[in-house]
Structure 1
Amino acid sequence: MAVTRLKRKAKRNQAVAKNRIATIKRLSLKVDIKRVDAEELKAEFAK
């Protein structure tokens, strides 16, 4: 028996997987700013 492949569906599945991986990588690259001193920031902008 011959096997019929759904090429269009395979391309769509690969695209979804690539987008998911790219999104995870993009989100993991963000660095959270912690311990922000508000007074120090205000002093910098006041200069």
Structure 2
Amino acid sequence: MAVTQLKRKAKRNQAVAKNRVATIKRLSLKLDVKRVDIEALKAEFTK
């Protein structure tokens, strides 16, 4: 019995996996908040 490779399906599976990884990376991307002036924020909320 011969075994054939499903090349189109393999490409599709790889594309799905790459898209999933890219989506996870994009969603988990978090910008670092640096040098936040806490007193200024408190002053904004007390107005």
> Where do 1:1-47 residues align within 5 Å?
1-31=1-31, 37=41, 39=44
The one-letter code of the counterpart of 1:18 is K
Task: Show the counterpart of 1:44.
Answer: none
Alignment identity in percent?
81
Size of the aligned set, in residue pairs, is 38
> What runs of 5+ residues in structure 1 fail to find an aligned partner?
41-47
CA RMSD of superposed structures (Å): 2.7
Q: Provide TM-score, normalisation by structure 2.
A: 0.61
| Structure 1 residue ranges, 4+ long, deviating more than 3 angstroms after superposition | none
